[in-house]
Each structure stands twice: as structure tokens, then as C-alpha cells.
Structure 1
């Protein structure tokens, strides 16, 4: 079962993440009325905004037409596979790679 299915079953409201790239750092505060700002990067001039999934397309179009917004993108977080079997496989692969590196280091030290 995916996380989205679990949220729907629990009766929680679906949220979507938007990445909003700005021209000026100070304009981030103008975005508060559209959703919840969870992260802002001054250096990269972008903002992570969460809002209701039902309103996401409408708000994205609104934001794209604002003067201070450079571009708006949907986050790829929904495409990330968070199933336990996938995560376990990734951990096993990383452990194998680490073992191989340690063995090659040990062989180099013994030479």
C-alpha cells in the first residue's frame, strides 16, 4: 500500500508540493496566502509550498502569472518509491558496495 492510499484511508487531506522559483528573495512572503511555506532558499531563490491537491493546478497557473515568480514546478516527491521492499533493496546494494570498497582498500594496504 502506498503512502497516498494510506492517507486517503485515514481521511487526511491530500497535499501537493510546488517548487516556486523567485526573482527576488523578499517576495517569498507574498506566497503565504496560497499555502504553507515549508522551506525557502535565499541562495537559490526558491520556495517549497504545500497546498491542497484539489487546488494545485489552479494555484500553479495563478503563481506562474505573478510578476515576481520566475517559474513554478510540481515536486517529484510522488514519484519516489517508498515501499519497504525497495528501501531494503537499496540498503542491501549499498552494503555490498561498501564491502567491495573495504575489501579493495584492505588488499591495497596488504600490498
Structure 2
């Protein structure tokens, strides 16, 4: 379950992440007028902003018009399933894959020795 799904019945403002790829990292401070900067990577040249969900499309359109922005797009973090059953299922799957790899490598070692 995503955070915004948890906030459905509350009066809190729903927020959405926006990933902004920059062609000039020296102008990243100008993005503050569009939303809250939560992460900035100078090395990779991108920034993550949080904006109100109601203004999301308008803000992305405005950001894409800026000359120092290569591309702005909606972050997929809202689509991540954070429910405990989903996480347990992923852990079980990873454990099974690890066991299969271990058994495969042990079989190779015993074949090589014999």
C-alpha cells in the first residue's frame, strides 16, 4: 500500500515526486519555487521534488519549458507496493532463488571433484 493510499481519508495534502533531469546543475536552486527539493545529485545531474498532486501536470509542463531542464517526469515511488504481504512474498522468492543457485554451485563442485 502506498503512502498516498494511506492518506485518502485524512485532510493532509497529497504529494507526488517529480524527477527533474538538469543540463546545468548550477541552476538547481531555481527549482525551489516549483516544489520542495528532497534530493539533488550534482554528479548525476538530477533533482527530486515533491509537489502537490493537484498541480502535478501543470508543474511538469512548466519544468519542461525551462532552458536548464532536460526532462521532468513523474516519479514512480507512489506505485511501489509497501504492504507486508508483498514484501514477504518478495523475500520468499529471493530465498528460493538463492537456494537454487547454491544447489547448482554445489552440484558443479561435486561433479568437478569426482
Place the TM-score, normalised by the shorter chain, in its bin: 0.7 to 0.9
Question: Which position in structure 2 is the counterpart of 1:42?
Answer: 42
CA–CA separation in structure 2 for the residues paired with 1:3 and 1:85: 16
Query: What's the secondary structure of 1:54's corresponding residue?
Result: helix
- Corresponding pairs, count: 111
Mapped contact 2:20–2:48 kept (Cα < 8 A): yes
Query: What's the secondary structure of 1:56's corresponding residue?
Result: helix
Deviation at 1:39, TM superposition (A): 1.1
CA–CA separation in structure 1 for the residues paired with 2:19 and 2:38: 11
Unaligned runs of 5+ in 2: none
Mapped contact 2:21–2:69 kept (Cα < 8 A): yes
Query: What's the secondary structure of 2:33's corresponding residue?
Result: coil
Root-mean-square deviation (Å)? 1.7
CA–CA separation in structure 2 for the residues paired with 1:76 and 1:12: 20
Unaligned runs of 5+ in 1: none
Divergent runs of 4+, >6 A? none
Question: Which position in structure 1 is the counterpart of 2:110?
Answer: 110
TM-score, length-scaled by structure 1: 0.87
Deviation at 1:24, TM superposition (A): 0.6
CA–CA separation in structure 2 for the residues paired with 1:2 and 1:69: 28
Question: Which position in structure 2 is the counterpart of 1:7?
Answer: 7
